[in-house]
A and B are shown apart, each in its own frame.
Chain A
Amino acid sequence: DQQVKQNSPSLSVQEGRISILNCDYTNSMFDYFLWYKKYPAEGPTFLISISSIKDKNEDGRFTVFLNKSAKHLSLHIVPSQPGDSAVYFCAATISNFGNEKLTFGTGTRLTIIP
């Protein structure tokens, strides 16, 4: 069963506009959520994270929103830049200060159109 879902396999956005990537989860035990960005032939790179005690975390152009009641999170990128074109993975884990294995979604390929 897919515990973390990214229902949009791809997204195209004009440069300068806002990109919104969505993610849903089913396991209510998850309490920490992350977004990773992946370029071809490279490993995933950590982008931003959020704890379940918060509903928003912002870092520069990137903001992650968490709606626990809906089991939904989203990543906002504004303004979008050509270098943002990559595959974005949503991931979730259960914090236990030890084994924090990540459960990933299937990814969304973001293309920024110049």
Chain B
Amino acid sequence: GAGVSQTPSNKVTEKGKYVELRCDPISGHTALYWYRQSLGQGPEFLIYFQGTGAADDSGLPNDRFFAVRPEGSVSTLKIQRTERGDSAVYLCASSLNAGGSTDTQYFGPGTRLTVL
């Protein structure tokens, strides 16, 4: 596909469960970002990957949240012991990061997480 894809599109889980959210960035994009959008708010930064490494995880709310990108392409956001406050739309974005100018971030459609 040409754009950023995210799976699943919707995820309903129970409080205390573990969830994984997947992001497939645009092919060739080395930079990958995760954001979280709560109801009535704008997206909020969670974590940034350059290649395989998490270069900035300052937006992760606590240690229940973790993300990986083992081969520098697909990324997985993992949430342990989910809480009702984790309910939100989780957005993934990728950019070329070719250097020399500010890159446009292209967003996926998001995963809507509902914690009951």
- Is the Cβ of A103 less than 8 Å from the Cβ of B45? yes
Choose among B59, B95, B107 the residue that contacts A43 (Cβ–Cβ < 8 A). Answer: B107
Give the interface segment out of B36-44, B61-69, B75-83: B36-44
7 more contacts with CB within 8 A, not counting A49-B102, A98-B55, are A34-B104, A97-B100, A100-B95, A100-B102, A101-B33, A101-B59, A106-B42
**Secondary structure call for the B interface:** loop
Q: How close is A52's CB to chain B, nearest CB, in angstroms?
A: 11
Residue of B nearest to A87 (CB): B42
In contact, B33 and A107 (Cβ under 8 angstroms)? no
| Inter-chain CB contacts under 8 Å: number | 66
Indicate if the CB atoms of A44 and B43 lie closer than 8 Å: yes
CA distance A103 to B100 in the complex (A): 21
In A34-66, which residues have CB < 8 Å from any B CB? 34, 36, 41-46, 49, 51
In-complex Cβ contact of B97 among A6, A41, A98 (8 A): A98
Do B43 and A32 touch across chains, with their CB atoms under 8 A apart? no
Interface size on B, residues (CB 8 A): 31
Q: Which residues of A does B touch, CB under 8 Å?
A: 4, 6, 32, 34, 36, 41-46, 49, 51, 89, 91, 93, 95, 97-107
In the complex, the 3 A-B pairs of residues with the closest C-beta atoms, listed nearest first? A104-B42, A43-B107, A101-B45
CB B112 to nearest CB in A, in angstroms, measures: 9
- The answer to whether B107 touches A44 (Cβ under 8 A) is yes
Residues of chain B lying within 8 A (CB to CB) of residue A95? 102
Closest to A97 in B: B99
Question: Whose C-beta in chain A lies nearest to the C-beta of B33?
Answer: A101
Within the complex, the shortest CB–CB distance from A96 to chain B, in Å, comes to 9
Q: Chain B residues near A45: list those with CB within 8 A.
A: 107
Contact A99 B56 (CB under 8 A): yes
A102 CA / B101 CA spacing, docked (Å)? 15
- Please state if B45 and A43 are interface contacts (CB–CB under 8 Å): no
Q: Using Cβ atoms and an 8 Å threshold, which residues of chain B touch A49?
A: 102, 104
A42 to B9, CA, bound (A): 10
Q: Contacts A42-B109, A44-B91, A89-B42 hold; do A99 and B48 have CB atoms under 8 A apart?
A: yes
A32→B56 contact, CB < 8 A: no
